[in-house]
Amino acid sequence: MKENINDVRLSKHLASPNEATLSHSSELDGVRLSPHFKLSEFLKLEKYPANVPTMQAVANLTYGCHQILEPARLLVGPIIINSGFRNEAVNRKVGGVKNSQHLTGQAADIRPKDPRQFQQLVDFLKSWEYTDQLLTGSGWLHISWNPLAPPRHFVRIGYYK
Ligand SMILES: [Zn+2]
């Protein structure tokens, strides 16, 4: 039942061709993608008010939450999303690559709330069956997924200096 309510909320907003100009996108805050992750955590609307995702991006984010982030959270505890979905403007602003998976809701930059869990998070994602790309930085990492293609298991430790 709860999911139905979320669907209605989303479609009300995202059916609009001018979705990027929504002034009351705060309603997106109530949308939960999985037991421990809310859509708002992936959007950073307080910083980027026009960063409203397409339905396809929401579906992709939901897949990532269920297949990767929830299992990881089970292991290392709460996970902070530094960056999730990015529209073109946000992606440019943060210096993301042109074909970034953040644009389609297929990636997130994350860190464990407890920094001591970082290595365990890396070790888990390195060998996790749904990991598409894993690129690590110092205390945070980029993880991607793709519901439409077999995972590439492309892993680069220390990729971000
Ligand atoms: Zn990233």
Query: Where in the sequence is the domain holding 124, given as residue range(s)?
Result: 5-156
Distance 17 CA to ligand 1 centre (A): 27
Model-level pTM? 0.85
In a domain, 9, yes or no: yes
pLDDT at position 14 is 52
In a domain, 161, yes or no: no
pLDDT in tens, the chain (161 residues): 444 444 545 555 554 444 444 444 566 778 999 999 999 999 999 999 999 999 999 999 999 999 999 999 999 999 999 999 999 999 999 999 999 999 999 999 999 999 999 999 999 999 999 999 999 999 999 999 999 999 999 999 999 99
Total domains, the chain: 1
> Domain with 119 in it: what CATH number?
3.30.1380.10
- The greatest distance separating any two alpha carbons of the chain, rounded to the nearest whole angstrom, comes to 45
In a domain, 54, yes or no: yes
Distance 40 CA to ligand 1 centre (A): 17
Distance 7 CA to ligand 1 centre (A): 27
Distance 5 CA to ligand 1 centre (A): 30
Distance 47 CA to ligand 1 centre (A): 17
Task: Report which DSSP code applies to 54.
Answer: P
Calculate helix-pair angle for 2-14, 55-64, nearest 10 degrees.
Answer: 140
Closest alpha carbon to 19 in 42, 45, 50: 50
In a domain, 88, yes or no: yes
Distance 83 CA to ligand 1 centre (A): 7
Distance 44 CA to ligand 1 centre (A): 14
Environment class of residue 70 by beta-carbon count within 10 Å: exposed (0-12), middle (13-18) or buried (19+)?
A: middle
Distance 107 CA to ligand 1 centre (A): 6
Distance 88 CA to ligand 1 centre (A): 14
In a domain, 46, yes or no: yes
pLDDT at position 1 is 43
In a domain, 87, yes or no: yes
